[in-house]
Amino acid sequence: MKENINNKLKNKNETKDRKKLTNYLGKYKLGIFAYMFVYVIACGCNIFMTIILARAIELITTAVYKNAIICLGIVGGLYLVRRICWYVSGLLYNKYANAIMADLNIDLANQAFKLNSKTYADNDTGVFVKRIVYDPERIVSNLSNVVDIVTEIISSAIMVIYIACLNLYVGLALLGIISISTIIEIYRTRYLKKARADVFKKGDKINSLTTEIVRSEKDIKSLGLEQSLNKVAKDYYRSYTKANAHLETVNMNYYSLRNLLIEIAGVLLLILGVYFIDIGTISLATFMLIYSNNDHIRGLVWDLGEILTVVTDIKVCSERIFSIFDDNLFECEKFGSLQVEDVKGTIEFKNVEYSYVEYEKPKDDEKKKKGKDKLERKVASTNKIFDNLSFKIDAYATVAFVGRSGSGKSTILNLMSKMYDVDGGQVLIDGIDIKEFDKPSLRKCISLVNQFPYIFDMTIKENLLLAKNDATDEELESAIERASLKDFVQSLPKKLDTKVGESGIKLSGGQKQRLAIARALLRNSPIIIFDESTSSLDNFAQEDIKHSIDKLKGKSTIVIVAHRLSTIRNVDKIFFLEDGKIEDIGTFDELFENNVKFKNLFYAENLK
């Protein structure tokens, strides 16, 4: 089993193009070039200003005031040119930074739609939210910082080179200071990359927990879970704070060591300058130039450290967001290319095998190995759900799957709708393996109503139109009526234009479920799957939904997973599951009469 899974993983997407940040920058290369060009002019102004100011200081110390005034006038003109360049670069940055960020967000969101259900089950919500929303913004912001810092580095470097050229010994001293400081910065950023990735990972967990707390506030309050969840939140925040504090402490230690070195070296440089004045090697004007530009030496080292920090941050964020496109780490849904029209709705499982597989998280050093696209995930554990499962559902039939919790009911629906992929065997629709269907064909022919449907923060009408954006008012009204939602909608002041809140928070559990059923009915799919879809309804609404499903009989293939056996009395056929196997098949009356386990399950339900 493990070998089979690993072989499939090894062969997957080996030829798939990997996305890189340069793909997004290249799209706007002319705009980025214009931005860089304007910044180069501003940088040139900085360089000339620094040199001319240095020359003005020399002229002032030698009492050549007229020429000094001319130099200062030129500096004033360069200030004006630099300011105009900065303004233009700001306009260009706003335009192209937002465009690049939008492209990243959109591509990441589109990729999120392609990920399979197992991928979402294996990862926290925060893993995706931070990568899709926050990391692109951080990257674009840091790209701007790179340009700013490079400009400062060039300006400071020109001044440092200018000073170094005035005296060989001063130049050697500067080279030593900068070299030692750069070595310290290299070690700091090496640590920073590893530590920041760990901090981001812990931040993802906090983001996920916060999302869950917001979405489940009613359950938290009603069950008195505040204290327990507060403890979990404290543990998460303490872990995050500890990692972040350690990162900042080590970072500060490196900074302090580097800055202490620069400050001591700056004082020694001035002492060296005084000594050279005393022995007549340099003039007072040269010494004043070294003294007045001492900050450029500190600034150059600081900026070298900052550029390494920013580049490291960009690299960490890039690896995080583009890992979503790596099928070895975040597996996507796979579809065929066959366009299928006029589906009747015959469903067949033929010798199906499926195991729920847990994978070990790849280590950082494994990710860095050559041939990352061929990185194999190691199987941590497997739980065999189905082995050689076979059954057939005729087109237009209404069937139900029942059994105790954990018997495999919902897994069958996930395999049937291709939320999960089989490990072996086939799932067929009208005799065609669903792996051959293209995505639009497969999704169009199946509607799934989950046990806990998600309702979007929109109006009732907008939620319905998501299923069919060209639906007429008559179609909307029909779907609402068939889902037993009409009386509720009519009681609302704004009717269909009523906003339901995030995750349908303004609706009861039953109302959310009925809206989800109306949304599925609106699609008019040849196959409609109900996964415990009446579990949140009261007895009256449950009866209404039963009648709605009865009305669909003969028009679509209806597949129901039901916990309440009383809701499936009128289905054509019931599959009774036990430990991943179909133990019995028959009508409700046949199973009740002949299957003791089914009868006991029914009695247990009605005695509750």
List pLDDT tens digits, range 122-137.
777 777 877 887 888 8
Six-digit token string for 595: 């299957």
* pLDDT tens digits, 370-412: 444 445 567 666 788 888 889 999 998 989 898 887 788 888 9
pLDDT at 545: 66
- CA torsion sign for 529, 535, 537, 543 is positive
pLDDT at 349: 93
The CA–CA distances, whole Å, from 527 to 391, 400, 420, 515 equal: 16, 13, 17, 18
**Residue at token pair 């790179």:** 146
* pLDDT tens digits, 138-157: 888 888 788 778 777 777 77
pLDDT at 121: 75
pLDDT at 45: 83
Low-confidence winner among 122-131, 286-295, 305-314 (lowest mean pLDDT): 286-295
pLDDT at 359: 65
pLDDT at 9: 43
Mean pLDDT of 530-543: 66
pLDDT at 224: 66
**Residue at token pair 């059923």:** 517
Mean pLDDT of 463-476: 85
Angle at 239 between CA 233 and CA 242, to 5 degrees: 135
pLDDT at 46 over 90: no
Do residues 445 and 526 lie in contact, with contact meaning Cβ atoms separated by under 8 Å?
yes
pLDDT at 236: 79
Angle at 212 between CA 207 and CA 218, to 5 degrees: 145
Residue 497 is classified by DSSP as G
The 10 Å CB-count burial string (b at 16+, else e) for 560-587 is bbbbbbebbeebebbbbbeebebebebe
Residue type, 262: I
The helix or strand, by DSSP H or E, that contains position 519, with its residue range, turns out to be helix 509-523
pLDDT at 596: 84
pLDDT at 184: 81
Specify the higher pLDDT residue, 16 or 92: 92
Residue 359, SS3 per DSSP? strand
pLDDT at 606: 58
Give residue 1's pLDDT band: very low, low, confident or very high (50, 70, 90): very low
Specify the higher pLDDT residue, 203 or 388: 388
pTM over 0.85? The answer is: no
Mean pLDDT of 35-50: 81
Residues 6+ away with beta carbon under 8 Å from 566: 602, 605, 606
pLDDT at 536: 55
Low-confidence winner among 415-429, 433-447, 460-474, 502-516 (lowest mean pLDDT): 502-516
pLDDT at 354 over 60: yes
* pLDDT tens digits, 561-570: 877 777 788 8
Which domains can be identified in the chain, with CATH numbers?
A: 17-325 (1.20.1560.10), 391-607 (3.40.50.300)
pLDDT at 20: 78
DSSP output for 89-151: HHHHHHHHHHHHHHHHHHHHHHHHHHB-HHHHHHS-HHHHHIIIIIHHHHHHHHHHHHHHHHH
Strand order in the sheet with 432-433: 379-393, 347-359, 424-429, 432-433
Q: Which residues pair with 582 in a beta bridge?
A: 577
Give dist(CA 378, CA 394) in Å, integer. 40
pLDDT at 362: 58
pLDDT at 335 over 70: yes
Low-confidence winner among 23-27, 243-247, 255-259, 332-336 (lowest mean pLDDT): 255-259
Do residues 149 and 268 lie in contact, with contact meaning Cβ atoms separated by under 8 Å?
no
Give residue 258's pLDDT band: very low, low, confident or very high (50, 70, 90): confident
**Burial grade of 108 (CB within 10 A; 0-12, 13-18, 19 or more):** buried
The CA–CA distances, whole Å, from 152 to 159, 308, 310 equal: 11, 14, 14
Percent of the chain scored above 90 by pLDDT?
5
Residue type, 116: N
Q: What is the mean pLDDT of the chain?
A: 78
